[in-house]
Chains A and B, each alone.
Chain A
Amino acid sequence: AQKVTQAQTEISVVEKEDVTLDCVYETRDTTYYLFWYKQPPSGELVFLIRRNSFDEQNEISGRYSWNFQKSTSSFNFTITASQVVDSAVYFCALSVVGNQFYFGTGTSLTVIP
């Protein structure tokens, strides 16, 4: 069975602080994809990143970075120098062959000015 766990339900940080959102996944498949989505207050989910199970190289995109570690089944997301516009709910998701997406319950991030 597949499962995605985002243990942090809510996080508050002060602007310019760094923050890491945790994501732990479970699957017995050796081939899978991991995703992060952002859901701002407007409600529309925005795709952030996709990573396949064979690529453990960390990725950096501006203030965003992702740390994929198969050894711990984690795909954590770090925002550096957070900004108020980063306030949103962030979802981690897993997809495997056979298709369904499995979403975590989300982490609500509030960046305080």
Chain B
Amino acid sequence: GAGVSQSPSNKVTEKGKDVELRCDPISGHTALYWYRQRLGQGLEFLIYFQGNSAPDKSGLPSDRFSAERTGESVSTLTIQRTQQEDSAVYLCASSPVQEYQETQYFGPGTRLLVL
């Protein structure tokens, strides 16, 4: 079946512009996660969604970052007034349920470059 998909694959933007990154999880997966991976670094947790529960936003680095998810489907990560430090790969993952023992399945990521 289809895996996690993300769009766009690459995004180049100018400092100060807003960007939207999209994630389509695996069908039937109720949990969805966003991570940021800076060049040569590990994964930095941003936010996760579980069904209709309130999302855990504890990893969002600033109020310029926000995310939405419609039900158990698509999620959009929005970065407002982008800064050069926002340049990174943004990874989305989904899992069948939001339980700590569940394996996360990752998408290919969106490579964001802020000039």
Q: In this complex, what residue of B is CB-closest to A100?
A: B45
User: Interface size (A, Cβ < 8 Å)?
Assistant: 26
In whole angstroms, what is the CA distance A29 to B21 when docked?
Answer: 34
Q: In this complex, what residue of B is CB-closest to A29?
A: B100
Proximity string of chain A (27-66) to chain B, C-beta cutoff 8 Å, 1 when within and 0 when not? 0000011010100001111110010100000000000000
Closest Cβ–Cβ distance, residue A95 to chain B (whole Å): 4
Q: What chain A residues lie within 8 Å of B100 (beta carbons)?
A: 32-33, 95-99
Proximity string of chain B (85-102) to chain A, C-beta cutoff 8 Å, 1 when within and 0 when not? 000010101000011110
A105: Cβ under 8 A from any B Cβ = yes
Taking a contact as CB atoms closer than 8 A, the residue among B33, B41, B108 that contacts A43 in the complex is: B108
B27: Cβ under 8 A from any A Cβ = no
Given A42-B108, A44-B107: A52 and B101 within 8 A (CB)? yes
Interface centre among A43, A91, A93 (most CB of B within 10 A): A43
Q: Decide: A35 and B103 in contact? CB cutoff 8 A.
A: yes
Q: What chain B residues lie within 8 Å of A104 (beta carbons)?
A: 42
Q: What chain B residues lie within 8 Å of A32 (beta carbons)?
A: 100
Question: 4 closest A-B pairs (Cβ-Cβ)?
Answer: A45-B106, A105-B42, A103-B43, A95-B100
Q: 8 A-B contacts, Cβ less than 8 Å apart?
A: A37-B106, A42-B108, A44-B107, A47-B103, A47-B105, A93-B43, A99-B100, A100-B58
Residues of chain A touching chain B, judged by Cβ–Cβ distance below 8 Å, are 32-33, 35, 37, 42-47, 50, 52, 91, 93, 95-106
